[in-house]
Amino acid sequence: MELWQQMLRQSIDSADDLVRRFNFDKETAERLNSLFHIRINPYYLSLIRYPGDPIWLQSMPNAVELEDDGLPEDPLNEDGDSPVPSITHRYPDRVLFLVTSQCSMYCRFCTRKRKVSDSTKISMKFIQDGLDYIRAHTEVRDVIVSGGDPLMLTDIMLEKVLKGLREIPHVEIIRVHTKMPAVLPQRITPQLIEMMKKYHPIYVNVHFNHPWECTPEAKHACDLLADGGFPLGNQMVLMKGVNDDPDVVKDLNRKLLVMRVRPYYIYQADMVKSTNHFRTPIRVGLEIMDKLRGHTSGLAVPYFVIDAPGGGGKIPILPQYVLYHDDEKIVLRNYKYEVFEYDEKKGETGPIQTEVDARFLRKAPVIMRERKRRVSKRKARASVNPQVPLAEVEPDKPIQ
């Protein structure tokens, strides 16, 4: 048995463990465990510094999960786009392929907790159906291998999946989504890398949520993956008390880059049943993005996305940088809240104001919209009444 498998065996994974080691009330522990299975492996447990810290919050059950928050089990409607149990086919050329229900740590915020940890819903027995579906759908060129955590499969079983995919001619790229480098980095072994290398191109998306997860062990795991030629991207979920702070996210993203992992997405937490206590207002994510762009290297700036409820897919959202835009020019503000105008006719740019009151900037889009509305009204009047002087239909100075 490999080290990571031995470590898994020593996980906290029952209500009794919670009662014995963390003083949980027995009934509460049992209800939490039946709501979503508990598993915290000894490596991840060792990262906890104090109860309630960002590592604790992600892994330790919380009695508030038992409150009825009225949220759905499948907010992204993945099951609605699922032609066979192991596949979600939502986008034109790519599919999500679920190959295991198991994870080395069950994240309390998991979007897929309705299935994860339940081997009757995701298991190896559905894999052949998934491969058959992908083979029959020649438009699929990109397959996201997920679960659960696909690296919970043994090397032999994972190889069956990767080999099966590589034998399908229209599959161009494979993406493996795994939390192992963050939660059980011992899983990334030289043997695993040698096996996976045979099935390139494979991209690996990892899932770090807090800088404390960027340990020497995690760095070693990411080094092995990067040296094996797997481009690494990170998907972070924004969560109250975990990473809802621009400095924490900046620190995390810088550490990830040192580990050769490119920050890829920040997700607004999904509206999943029993996870309401993690959710932050949208403005928190926008503020984080505002404090990243321009303040640190562009490589450390991911997309902030909302996975649209009901199955609309990922939609990026940005802080307000465009203050005004018409056919002739665009007025923008930069990361220091300085305002610039780009003249589309002349192709020139230049600062028009260096110090801008932040309160004004918040109002600027409204002012500009109102101005645009007035101008188009005047233009409309001019087109029916040639008496209106042309000068009157031009906008005045961009911003005063």
Structure-token pair, residue 34: 């039946």
State yes or no: is 91 an active-site residue.
yes
Tokens 């994972």, located at residue:
158
State in angstroms the smallest separation of the CB of 107 from ligand SF4.
3
State yes or no: is 222 an active-site residue.
no
Give CA–CA dist 83/346, Å, rounded: 53
Q: Given 222, 290, 307, 329, which residue is catalytic?
A: 307
Contacts (Cβ under 8 Å, ≥6 apart) of 22:
60
Amino acid identity, position 341:
E
SS3 call for 332: strand
State in angstroms the smallest separation of the CB of 278 from ligand SF4.
12
**Longest CA span, the chain:** 89
Neighbours of 302 (CB within 10 A): 23
Closest CB to ligand SF4 among residues 149, 244: 149
Give CA–CA dist 342/337, Å, rounded: 16
Tokens 């790519």, located at residue:
94
Q: Given 90, 141, 160, 379, which residue is catalytic?
A: 90
Closest CB to ligand SF4 among residues 112, 250: 112
Could you list the residues that contact ligand SF4 (CB under 6 A)?
A: 103, 106-107, 110, 112, 116, 147-149, 179
State in angstroms the smallest separation of the CB of 19 from ligand SF4.
22
Closest CB to ligand SF4 among residues 215, 368: 215
State yes or no: is 270 an active-site residue.
yes
State yes or no: is 103 an active-site residue.
yes
State in angstroms the smallest separation of the CB of 102 from ligand SF4.
8
State yes or no: is 94 an active-site residue.
yes
Closest CB to ligand SF4 among residues 184, 214: 184
SS3 call for 96: strand
State yes or no: is 381 an active-site residue.
no
The helix (run of H) or strand (run of E) holding residue 180 is: helix 180-183
State in angstroms the smallest separation of the CB of 177 from ligand SF4.
8
Closest CB to ligand SF4 among residues 36, 324: 36
Structure-token pair, residue 218: 């995690």
Catalytic residue list = 90-91, 94, 103, 107, 110, 112, 270, 307, 314
